[in-house]
């Protein structure tokens, strides 16, 4: 798949946007795939017992899905050279209605010499930002 | 109990080799909503120049997790698992993980700090392939909440 052309990018461009509806099923699926079986991600009674507002999505699930619009835009997961996030707010996943995570990916910085674009992610649950300093470095031609 | 400050700089023995399976990559890809054919279809991956399906960017957490288990099981660390909050996570890649890779991770505790009753531990796991070549470094900042 062809990579986006580095020279066609401008800081501030929105390169991808996508929403991810999470349900309890999504959490169980991620638990199995990742091996993270902490019960706060699938049991209401345990989440309540440790003082949480409800069952939470794995932070690593949120981090994992948030980068996917960038992977699709870049055309190849191998073009991602660095990815970092800060976990700023928990994602509560309601047993009936779930939770919708909205991702916007914007060009944050362009390294001309290396032809690496830093793509900054805004990751929200309703009006709340759930990942801070979410940055993906993508090597382009 | 505070986190043992002498952990700083400690290097752990490399983990047992982890063989990355094609179906595991697909299972992980589906779980993180990855739809790129390079993650799922070996033909598409080969067309893009890879030997097999390519794992999503956050897949190395599966290998890094084994190093974090080493850290938490150390008798002298003073880290209570139930008090850990994942603060930051970072992956710096030399190349993506591909099905068929045999990966080994080596954990270094690169920083231990105390901040307002909490301890902040930075765990840096260097992940290499069967030839010893660097694949990815996974860095976790763990916040260990102090006694309330």
| pLDDT tens column, B38-70 | 999 999 999 999 999 999 999 999 999 999 999
Report the mean per-residue pLDDT for chain B. 93
pLDDT attached to residue B75: 83
**pTM of this prediction?**
0.95
pLDDT attached to residue A110: 97
pLDDT tens across B90-106, in order?
999 999 999 999 999 99
Q: Which residues of A touch B36 (CB under 8 A)?
A: 68, 71-72, 75-77
pLDDT attached to residue B64: 96
Answer whether A71 sits within 8 Å of B62, measured CB to CB: no
Distance between alpha carbon B118 and the CA centroid of its chain, in Å?
23
pLDDT < 70: residue spans in chain A: 1
Nearest to A76 among B38, B56, B82 (CB): B38
Residue B29 in this model has a pLDDT that exceeds 90: yes
Residue B3 in this model has a pLDDT that exceeds 90: no
Q: Which residues of A touch B88 (CB under 8 A)?
A: 84-87, 133
Answer whether B89 sits within 8 Å of A1, measured CB to CB: no
pLDDT attached to residue B2: 72
Residue for token pair 């017992």: A49
CB neighbourhood size of B103 (10 A): 22
The SS3 assignment for A30 reads helix
Closest CA to A71 of B60, B35, B148: B35
pLDDT attached to residue B148: 57
pLDDT tens across A14-28, in order?
999 999 999 999 999
pLDDT attached to residue A42: 95
């Amino acid at each position: 798949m062809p990579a986006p052309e580095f020279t066609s990018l401008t800081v501030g461009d929105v390169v991808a946007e996508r929403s991810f509806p999470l349900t309890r099923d999504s959490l169980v699926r991620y638990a199995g795939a990742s091996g993270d079986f902490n019960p706060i991600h699938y049991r209401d009674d345990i989440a309540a017992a440790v003082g949480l507002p409800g069952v939470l999505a794995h932070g690593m699930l949120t981090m994992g899905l948030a980068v996917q619009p960038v992977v699709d835009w870049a055309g190849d997961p191998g073009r991602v050279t660095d990815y970092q996030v800060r976990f700023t707010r928990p994602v509560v996943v309601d047993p009936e209605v779930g939770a919708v995570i909205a991702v916007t990916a914007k060009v944050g910085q362009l390294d001309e010499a290396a032809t690496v674009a830093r793509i900054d992610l805004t990751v929200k649950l309703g009006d709340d930002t759930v990942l801070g300093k979410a940055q993906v470095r993508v090597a382009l031609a | 109990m505070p986190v043992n400050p002498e952990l700083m700089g400690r290097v752990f023995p490399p983990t047992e080799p982890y063989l990355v399976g094609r179906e595991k990559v697909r299972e992980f890809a589906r779980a993180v909503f990855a739809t790129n054919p390079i993650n799922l279809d070996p033909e598409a991956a080969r067309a893009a120049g890879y030997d097999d399906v390519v794992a999503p960017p956050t897949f190395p957490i599966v290998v890094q997790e084994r190093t974090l288990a080493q850290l938490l099981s150390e008798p002298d660390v003073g880290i209570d698992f139930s008090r850990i909050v994942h603060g930051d996570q970072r992956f710096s890649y030399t190349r993506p993980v591909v099905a068929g890779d045999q990966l080994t991770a080596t954990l270094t505790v690169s920083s231990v700090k105390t901040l307002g009753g909490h301890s902040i531990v930075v765990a840096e796991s260097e992940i290499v392939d069967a030839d010893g070549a660097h694949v990815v470094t996974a860095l976790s900042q763990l916040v260990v909440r102090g006694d309330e």
